[in-house]
Chain A
């Protein structure tokens, strides 16, 4: 009885928290189907017309393509760099390891605005081509800490005796890494890359400094639309973003 009451007392808080967490996204998705001309809940009926307009919007289609390309490139780039670095950290004897590991986490601690501004200036100094290259590099920096943490964590629990077994069986270190270590830590690697994709896909704050009229990403467009005028089209765009992210997660899950 007391236990039941105690459980009950949690429910209001649970409700509030899960509402705070989930309602915003639900609202966005819901308003994309409304028949009215401004984003309201579709209490009067549902329609797909906003998706239609979206689909016919050339600029938006472009942005979608750019976002996907950038996110994929970021996933791959940060995946490779993060994994290699994680291996180095776990398998080495460097004295200042902990401090250096903290450096890997720096991008998390500095506001993306500063990262964006700094990188913009710097990339002009270095003549890094505008558009895709700049955006991909900046995103890879932002995603790196996540990939690094995830892969490093998995490597720490990896049974190194499997590598010993592989070497006793005749495989050298490279063959061992490719045939034994990587396949086994694969899921973690994939999770890291997935994180990289998601972070890149939704990134706005640093990206706003690095886009060009020809190369712009979906979050930038969403932001601009919100500022200029709200129509359910924006909701539809946002919902499409959500859909892409869910699809990618599912794919990632299947692969893992």
Chain B
């Protein structure tokens, strides 16, 4: 058997591997790995949330869906919503600019991608440093504008971290609109704003949907943003789950289920209005 410049003796590829490397098996490798180390653990966790042996199967859920925890769930979904809306608006503007008006698209895109290479924790750290008493904002203005350790801080942090995830898919879909469609619209007499509304936005919708999906899911599941930039009143589901893990495993498991199921329901609803698998396949 020859590999490039090297000729290996024919024993090097064992028969059992050669005979069994059909595509189905290859797929099985990745799915198998995930099933074993991801799906199974999660399912086990979910099972643990059910109160077997204690009579009431859903005993834990009563606790999980009450008072503080329910509030936290609501807060989480709400923060994620704000973050998503802000990211979509800002992100679309940037994506539009880069696609249509920028002279150096590559450089501008690279600057958007750059933060992705840097660990999220560092970016949150930077946001907090920015607004700390020792940071430039307070040094310059004397106040932190009510950002540190408040809701604003969390949202600013989330937006900062997740903007690239919004910009990229939206840029992608705006970019792929056929230039000729834009020209046609202009020639027919439409103002840029009208073209934007009636041609560009509808045609780039799949990118917007993808962006919304990514940002919402990532924002909702965020642990570090509330931990580093928020106050105790800003804790989101991820923080609560982590906290309860140390003293009440069942609660942690239950809340994990509640959170995941809620998210899945939301995604399902979303799917109803905007076919997600189409969107994902456009990627």
A and B directly contacting (CB within 8 A) = yes
A contacts, CB < 8 Å to B:
6-7, 10, 13-14, 16-18, 20-28, 31, 36, 38-41, 81-82, 84-89, 91-94, 98, 100, 102-115, 117-119, 121-123, 125, 137-138, 140-141, 144, 148-149, 153, 171-172, 174-175, 178-179, 198, 201-205, 208-209, 219, 222-223, 226, 230, 234-235, 238, 241-242, 245-246, 249
Question: Hey, which chain A residues are within 8 Å of B242, CB to CB?
Answer: 113, 117, 208
Whether A100 contacts B122 by the Cβ 8 Å rule is: no
* 8 more CB-based (< 8 A) A-B contacts, given A84-B26, A198-B119: A6-B101, A17-B93, A17-B163, A36-B134, A94-B24, A175-B1, A179-B3, A205-B238
Whether A111 contacts B27 by the Cβ 8 Å rule is: no
Give chain B nearest CB distance to A2 CB in angstroms: 9
Question: Hey, which chain A residues are within 8 Å of B122, CB to CB?
Answer: 24-25, 28, 202, 222, 238, 241-242
Q: Provide the bound-state CA to CA distance between A218 and B30, in Å.
A: 28
B120 close to A (CB within 8 Å): yes
Whether B283 contacts A111 by the Cβ 8 Å rule is: no
Whether A28 contacts B34 by the Cβ 8 Å rule is: no
Total A-B contacts with CB atoms under 8 angstroms apart: 268
Asked whether A21 and B129 contact (CB < 8 A) given A88-B27, A113-B241, A245-B118, the answer is no
B144 close to A (CB within 8 Å): no
Question: Hey, which chain A residues are within 8 Å of B263, CB to CB?
Answer: 109
Majority DSSP secondary structure for residues of B touching A: helix
Whether A202 contacts B126 by the Cβ 8 Å rule is: no
Whether B101 contacts A110 by the Cβ 8 Å rule is: no
Q: Contact string, B113-150, partner A, CB cutoff 8 A, digits 1/0?
A: 01111111111111111101011100100000000000
Question: Hey, which chain B residues are within 8 Å of A84, CB to CB?
Answer: 26, 29-30
Q: Provide the bound-state CA to CA distance between A41 and B267, in Å.
A: 43
Question: Hey, which chain A residues are within 8 Å of B228, CB to CB?
Answer: 223, 226
Whether A14 contacts B94 by the Cβ 8 Å rule is: yes
Whether A81 contacts B29 by the Cβ 8 Å rule is: yes
Q: Provide the bound-state CA to CA distance between A89 and B42, in Å.
A: 24
Whether B115 contacts A21 by the Cβ 8 Å rule is: yes
Q: Give the interface segment out of B64-72, B180-188, B219-227.
A: B219-227
Q: Provide the bound-state CA to CA distance between A250 and B1, in Å.
A: 35
Q: Provide the bound-state CA to CA distance between A246 and B44, in Å.
A: 39
Q: Provide the bound-state CA to CA distance between A178 and B23, in Å.
A: 16
Asked whether A24 and B123 contact (CB < 8 A) given A10-B93, A17-B94, the answer is yes
Give chain A nearest CB distance to B24 CB in angstroms: 6
Question: Hey, which chain B residues are within 8 Å of A204, CB to CB?
Answer: 119-121, 223-224
Within 8 Å by CB of A38, from B115, B134, B220, B222, lies B134
Give chain A nearest CB distance to B36 CB in angstroms: 9
Within 8 Å by CB of A98, from B30, B134, B253, B281, lies B281
